Amino acid sequence: MKVLFVASEMAPFAKTGGLADVAGSLPFALQREGHQVSVVLPLYSKIGENYRQEMKKVGEFYVDLDWRSQYAGIFLYQKDGIDIYFVDNEFYFHRHALYGMYDDGERFVFFNKAVVHMIKQLDLETDIVHSNDWHTGLIPLYVKDFAKGDQYYKDIKTVFTIHNLKYQGIFPQSILTLAGLSFEYFHEEGLKYYESVNFMKAGIVYSDALTTVSSSYAQEIKYEFYGESLQGIIRRHEYKLMGIINGIDYDLYNPEKDQRIPYHYSLKNPGDKMKNKTALQETFGLPLNKDVPIISMVSRLVDMKGLDLVRYILDELLQGDIQVVVLGTGDKEYEDMFRHFQWKYPDKMSAHIYFNEEEAHLVYAGSDIFLMPSMAEPCGISQLIALRYGTVPVVREAGGLKDTVIPFNEFTGEGTGFTFANYNAHELLYTIKRAIDIYSEEDQWNGLVERTMKAKHDWDKSSKEYTKLYNTLLHQRW
Ligand code: GLC
């Protein structure tokens, strides 16, 4: 089967969030399932020279955007048997960041349309086009729209994956003219969202199959609290909706081999996790103490991650015998909040308000408890990394967190972490305190750590599920 995976970011080329990790690893897992997989993304100016040198130009054509015709150059980069295409247009992608521009609507209309043209231009013989989040939401529609006038597109099936419903890509109606899409698509069951056009909605409505990144999130988004005002349309398309949980790259995140951490350890030899703990305390300028539990967060600092709950309890928490380390950037109010607590509790709290891959690995390896009290979490990747490194997660039971962290049960000796249900600061505080209590019971804790490291969240199972889905689509007769 030939699959074209379309995303607006992919690690290691361009990354702002979890989508990049998925795009950087799922295609390789699908390839291992025997498919021929290609990926396509924009050629952003920030993509490094080292990669550009290895690219070769394989095509160029023009994309009509209203009365203009825009150049699209196609570059190919090959990695481990996978073709990665980059769509080049300096005007749209030579910017200081990936998104957040005044003309994002136009930029991604261009990208989506260029990708669908590219399939034919390069004669990729694509069976499945798998696109992701609002930046690629128009792709299923373009495939159907092109197929009306061009037989080449008629057998291509489309899959659309929601990674985060919060960002939807909403633009004025006039974008339709630019996109070359008929106003016939502008109705409640189509692209219309109040008086605007919604790209996420386009993906939901026009795809042949709709997925999201955990089973719980697939349920949650049918209702108001998580539905981000799209719950109605999602319910009308639930017949084609399913949740497939993400995995992580088990080679990249492997405490036994990870080049980014100073001491290697494993299930059989867990002791050296402690040495990483000392290294972490050194790096974050905290007192060296093996006995104190270190609670960590590696996160984008935005409200969705549950930081309002953290703000509420942090003062009380820091009065106990603990250390807290934070790594990440985001909204200023949360950055300042952590700076404030670091100032108030310099021996207990250390916040590195930036992102650094190396330090992230050290935090996962060196801390004891990983905190992720998200308000909403479609899948979540950090808790999977924490589990892999034997760092016990404390999470809210939302989306993928609920599906991947099994609550600890001291009577049966089961579980891989601590969970709480309601978006409530006291529940969070109580749950962290419970984790700290168990931390002081060595046998219980060691058992817990062992179970976290045994949990398996690589891509094997998920890529099999995607394969099943692709197969069903291809053999379906409408
Ligand atoms: C988004 C979601 C996150 C998910 C990731 C990859 O970043 O917020 O929960 O893990 O996409 O699917």
Structural domain boundaries enclosing 155: 2-247+460-475
b or e along 257-284 (b: 16 or more beta carbons within 10 Å of the residue's beta carbon)?
Answer: ebeebbbbbeeeeeebbebbbebbbebb
Q: List, in order, residues 6 or more apart from 251 with CB less than 8 Å away.
A: 257
Residue 263 lies in a domain: no
In angstroms, the Cα distances linking 230 to 175, 184, 192 are: 20, 20, 11
258 lines ligand 1 (CB under 6 A): no
Cα of 71 to ligand 1 centre, how many Å? 32
CB 83 within 8 A of CB 39: yes
N- to C-terminal Cα distance for the chain? 20
Q: Is 258 domain-assigned?
A: no
In the predicted model, what is the mean pLDDT of the chain? 97
The answer on 314 and 227 residing in a single domain is: no
**CATH number (domain holding residue 344):** 3.40.50.2000
Q: How many residues does the chain have?
A: 478
Query: Would you say the C-alpha torsion 457, 37, 59, 55 has a positive or negative sign?
Result: positive
339 band by pLDDT with thresholds 50, 70 and 90: very high
**Percentage of the chain lying above the pLDDT 90 cut:** 98
Please check whether residue 199 lies inside any domain of the structure. yes
Contact status, residue 405 vs residue 391, Cβ threshold 8 Å: no
State residue 192 phi and psi, 5-degree precision.
-70, 130
Q: Using one digit for the tens of pLDDT, what is the confidence trace for 167-201?
A: 999 999 999 999 999 999 999 999 999 999 999 99
- Give me 355's structure tokens: 């992102």
Q: Sign of torsion, CA 442 448 450 453?
A: negative
From the list 137, 72, 146, 142, the residue with the least C-alpha distance to 108 is: 137
pLDDT score, position 476 = 75
Out of 381, 383, 387, 395, give the residue to mutate to test ligand 1, the one with the largest number of ligand atoms within 8 Å of its CB.
Answer: 381
Asked if residues 23 and 146 have their Cβ atoms less than 8 Å apart, the reply is no
308 and 166, same structural domain?
no
Residues 410 and 467 in one domain: no
Q: pLDDT (tens digit, 9 = 90+) per residue, 393-427?
A: 999 999 999 999 999 998 998 999 999 999 999 99
- Which ligand 1 atom sits closest to the C-alpha of 161? 12
Ligand 1 contact, 248 CB (< 6 A): no
Residue 366: φ, ψ to 5°: -95, -15
Instruction: State residue 478's pLDDT score.
Output: 45
Q: Using CA atoms, how far apart are residues 298 and 235, in angstroms rounded to an integer?
A: 34
Predicted confidence (pLDDT) at residue 220 exceeds the cutoff of 70: yes
In a domain, 265, yes or no: no
122 CA → ligand 1 middle, Å: 31
Please check whether residues 319 and 445 belong to one and the same domain.
Answer: yes
Cβ–ligand 1 distance for 381 under 6 Å, the answer yes
3-state SS, residue 83: strand
Ranges of beta strands (E only) in 142-271 are 157-162, 170-172, 192-193, 196-198, 209-212, 241-243
pLDDT in tens, 254-309: 999 999 999 999 999 988 999 999 999 999 999 999 999 999 999 999 999 999 99
Mean per-residue pLDDT, 371-399:
98
Facing residues of 37 across strands?
3
Say whether 295 sits in a helix, a strand or coil. strand
Percent of the chain with pLDDT over 70: 100
Residues 306, 211 share a domain: no
Residue 178 domain-assigned (yes or no) = yes
Cα–Cα distance measured from residue 178 to residue 180, given in angstroms and rounded to the nearest whole number: 5
Q: Which two tokens stand for residue 269?
A: 């030899």
165 CA from centroid of ligand 1 (Å): 10
Ligand 1 atom with minimal separation from the 378 CA: 9
Number of domains in the chain: 2
Q: Is 159 in the pocket of ligand 1 (CB under 6 A)?
A: no
Same domain, 287 and 347: yes
Ligand 1, atom nearest to 381 Cα: 10
How much distance in Å is there from the Cα of 25 to the middle of ligand 1?
14
Q: Residue 146's closest CA among 60, 236, 64, 239? A: 64
Q: Whose CA is nearest to atom 5 of ligand 1?
A: 18
348 CA distance to ligand 1 centroid (A)? 30
Average pLDDT over residues 99-119: 97
Say whether pLDDT at 102 is over 90. yes
Residues 87 and 193 in one domain: yes
Q: Over 80: is that where the pLDDT of 449 sits?
A: yes
Query: Has residue 477 got a pLDDT over 70?
Result: no
Q: Tell me how far the alpha carbon of residue 327 lies from the centroid of ligand 1, in angstroms.
A: 18
- Angle at 265 (CA atoms; ends 262, 271), nearest 5 degrees: 105
Residues 209 and 295 in one domain: no
Whether 237 maps to a domain, the answer reads yes
Q: Are residues 293 and 273 in contact, defined by beta-carbon separation less than 8 angstroms?
A: no
What distance in Å separates the CA atoms of residue 324 and residue 294, rounded to the nearest whole number?
6
DSSP H or E run through 386: helix 382-388
Quote the CA–CA distance of 221 and 406 in Å, as a whole number: 22
Mean pLDDT to the nearest integer, 7-25: 96
CA of 213 to the centre of ligand 1 (A): 7
Q: Is the CB of 247 under 6 A from ligand 1?
A: no
Distance 41 CA to ligand 1 centre (A): 18
Do residues 450 and 466 both lie within one domain?
no
Within a domain: residue 261?
Answer: no
Q: Is the dihedral of CA 287, 288, 292, 296 positive or negative?
A: positive
